[in-house]
Every structure is written in structure tokens, then in C-alpha cells.
Amino acid sequence: DAGVIQSPRHEVTEMGQEVTLRCKPISGHNSLFWYRQTMMRGLELLIYFNNNVPIDDSGMPEDRFSAKMPNASFSTLKIQPSEPRDSAVYFCASSLAHQETQYFGPGTRLLVL
């Protein structure tokens, strides 16, 4: 079975540009999570969805960040405009149901110059 799929795997962009990260959760999973990992702050939850509905976005750092889940098999995390401090690895994870194990994708390594 395919795991969580993320694209792109690597992204290099210039400050001020829009960045869109994509995630396809495991088929049948109804919870989706976006995390950010940096050396300084470790792994942090940004936002999570249940049944395509955003439940908690308190971890989203600024209005420059937005996330959508238009259907059960696709989600995006957008940064507009991007800044060098947004450089990090962004992970998407999905789970089958409430309080079930989260399975992580391979991550997108973002570098903003």
C-alpha cells in the first residue's frame, strides 16, 4: 500500500515567492496533519483536519501560511510570501481516526533564499 505522498520533495525558492506543498494521505484515512521541523524548534504541528475540515490551526505561524483540504485525498500548504525563516522540512501525516497512529510522509525540504 502507498504511504503518505508529498510533493515536491525539495523546493528552493526566493524570498517573496509563493510556495505550495502538496500531500496525499493514505487512502481511507480521515485525519490529516501538517508539521514543520527545524533544528531550533524541532517538530511542530501546524494544522490538522478531520474529514476535510480544519480543526485546529493554532500552530500556523502567520497569515502568510494557509492550508486547504478540498477532498479526502488531497491537501495543500501554501506560504505567500515566503521568507528565509520558513526554511524547514514540512511533513504531512495522516491517521485512520481519532486517537489513532499518525503515519508520516517523507517530507518536503524547503529552502527560501
Which positions touch other proteins (CB under 8 A)?
4, 31, 33, 42-45, 48, 55-56, 91, 93, 95, 98-107, 109
DSSP for 17-73, written as a single string: --EEEEEEPPTT--EEEEEEEETTTEEEEEEEEETTEEEE-TT--STTEEEEEEETT
Q: How far is the CB of 36 from other proteins (least distance, A)?
A: 11
Pick from 1, 2, 11, 3: nearest CA to 103: 3
Residue nearer to other proteins on the CB measure, 82 or 102: 102
81 vs 96 by CB, closer to other proteins: 96
Between residues 5 and 81, which has the closer beta carbon with respect to other proteins?
Answer: 5
Rounded to a whole number of angstroms, the minimum distance from the CB of residue 106 to other proteins is 4
- Least separation in angstroms between residue 4's CB and other proteins is 8
Q: Nearest 5°: CA angle at 57, between 14 and 39? A: 50
